[in-house]
Chain A
């Protein structure tokens, strides 16, 4: 009974334009000067997502493991580049650090989900690999990009503290331990908070989408639980791998803090 009932047609979508029309009316009334931007945004949402739909349909028709791996790799490369772009400070070798962090977490977590949790047949089935892979990479990107920014902030803030520890005989890893801890905490606490309140305050997007598409809520909930666990593990793993590579860039082989990197401003 359920599925057909909720299928959106192009005509239905036209009706949803009324939302935009209503917003436009309010914006004009308040003279906010956002009309043009909103119109461009509306158009771009439509064009980009429609194109994406066709691209995804084409991707879903490709039944070859090499194609799927290539696609995931390209997604990871783009995410690593985006992560590098989001840094306020120039972090040496940040692109390869992101690449290794995202690649390892994608292999481990996506691999486990496809092979052992969902038992997808064949394992490279694009219906599972693309959306779940996308979520892992996207979440890994957001989390590591924030953590790296925070980590460099901590290094700047704790420069004297780090040098004091080095001067007492600490290794670089121990000297930056508190900085790493603070930045990983900052990255993981929102994830833990989300796990605490999920379902109480709002229903997560994936679950809402599945329910709207006619999936039994009990099944949709199981997916959501798996996704929450997956998100947390991705963030933990990707951040730790990224930081393990990044912190080393801030020290010389003679266990000295490269203070010049903390002064440098990104051009």
Chain B
């Protein structure tokens, strides 16, 4: 009965259902050498969301992002992934939660070797067929690239796409983006973000993106979490938060340029 009621309420108010809940943060803290990096974070992230985490440099955005795939553990509080403690099976979690770093790591070797690097420990990856690799490359917009091409010879944008394709071969449910376009020009940034948005829709991905560029993010993210000095000072849609001065409070200008540095 209670399930039916909650289903109806969720349907009416467009709330995410409990079963759609991916991440749940409860009073999460992070301290490094007595320095408070993150304090008292409480929020949930549901399946299929595109969430932007915005803040000036030093606000704790990257530290927060590292918690979603347990590269960093909180000093206090609790994080669950699909209702289970996030660190109960870390290797499975990391396959499920892919990440695209600010400066993508491209290993010395060919495009194929880079894509199949996880084949060193994962048989399903090592047995990936060439046409599956080409599909992954196609999904990220890397066409006309030879699998034997040396990966470090690719341009910055191509390397970023290659890293994205490598993550996709793990078939993740969640994609974490750590300032993924900060080293690219605005046109290329938009192209890559468009590609990610397409992928999100096609693969039903949940995307959590950390950025200081809220002008770029508001084109894609429905929800924004604003961090300032390790605390959440705003969580909602861009329009509502625009009225609340939260962006200015976080040290961000309206034109999207980070003025903290």
Residues of chain A touching chain B, judged by Cβ–Cβ distance below 8 Å, are 160-161, 163-171, 174, 177, 252, 254-257, 260
Contact status A170-B71, CB under 8 Å: no
Contact status A256-B105, CB under 8 Å: no
- Complex partner residue of B120 from A167, A170, A255, A260, CB under 8 angstroms: A170
- Cα A107 to Cα B33 in complex, Å, equals 43
Interface presence of B161 (CB below 8 A): no
- Cα A260 to Cα B34 in complex, Å, equals 14
Contact status B73-A252, CB under 8 Å: yes
Closest chain B residue to A162, Cβ basis: B105
- Cα A1 to Cα B70 in complex, Å, equals 75
State which residues 166-219 of B face A: CB under 8 Å: 166-167, 170
Interface presence of B44 (CB below 8 A): no
Interface presence of B95 (CB below 8 A): yes
Closest chain A residue to B122, Cβ basis: A169
Contact status B87-A254, CB under 8 Å: yes
Best-buried of A166, A168, A170, A171 by chain B (most CB within 10 Å)? A168
Contact status B120-A166, CB under 8 Å: no
Residues of chain B touching chain A, judged by Cβ–Cβ distance below 8 Å, are 32-33, 69-73, 87, 90-92, 94-95, 98-99, 101, 103, 105, 107, 117-118, 120-122, 163, 166-167, 170
- Cα A163 to Cα B92 in complex, Å, equals 16
Contact status B167-A166, CB under 8 Å: no
Chain A residues lying within 8 Å of B170, measured Cβ to Cβ, are 168-169
* Contact A165 B117, CB 8 Å, known A254-B87, A256-B73: yes
Contact status B70-A168, CB under 8 Å: no
Chain B residues lying within 8 Å of A167, measured Cβ to Cβ, are 69, 71, 94, 98-99
* Contact A170 B105, CB 8 Å, known A254-B70, A254-B73, A255-B91: no
* Contact A166 B73, CB 8 Å, known A160-B101, A171-B121, A254-B87: no
Contact status B73-A168, CB under 8 Å: no
Q: How far is the CB of A254 from chain B (nearest CB, A)?
A: 5
Contact status A168-B94, CB under 8 Å: yes
Chain A residues lying within 8 Å of B107, measured Cβ to Cβ, are 161
- Cα A172 to Cα B130 in complex, Å, equals 28
Contact status B121-A169, CB under 8 Å: yes
Contact status B103-A171, CB under 8 Å: no
- Cα A174 to Cα B71 in complex, Å, equals 16
Chain B residues lying within 8 Å of A171, measured Cβ to Cβ, are 91, 121
Contact status A161-B105, CB under 8 Å: yes
Chain A residues lying within 8 Å of B70, measured Cβ to Cβ, are 254-256
Best-buried of A164, A171, A252, A255 by chain B (most CB within 10 Å)? A164
* Contact A170 B99, CB 8 Å, known A164-B105, A256-B73: no
Closest chain B residue to A178, Cβ basis: B107
* Contact A169 B91, CB 8 Å, known A160-B105, A161-B105: yes
- Cα A165 to Cα B121 in complex, Å, equals 10
- Cα A164 to Cα B121 in complex, Å, equals 14
Contact status A174-B121, CB under 8 Å: yes
Chain A residues lying within 8 Å of B101, measured Cβ to Cβ, are 160, 163-164
Contact status B72-A168, CB under 8 Å: no
Best-buried of B71, B95, B99, B118 by chain A (most CB within 10 Å)? B71
- Complex partner residue of A168 from B33, B87, B90, B117, CB under 8 angstroms: B117
Q: How far is the CB of A124 from chain B (nearest CB, A)?
A: 46
Contact status A170-B118, CB under 8 Å: yes
- Cα A169 to Cα B98 in complex, Å, equals 9
- Cα A170 to Cα B125 in complex, Å, equals 12
Contact status B72-A256, CB under 8 Å: yes
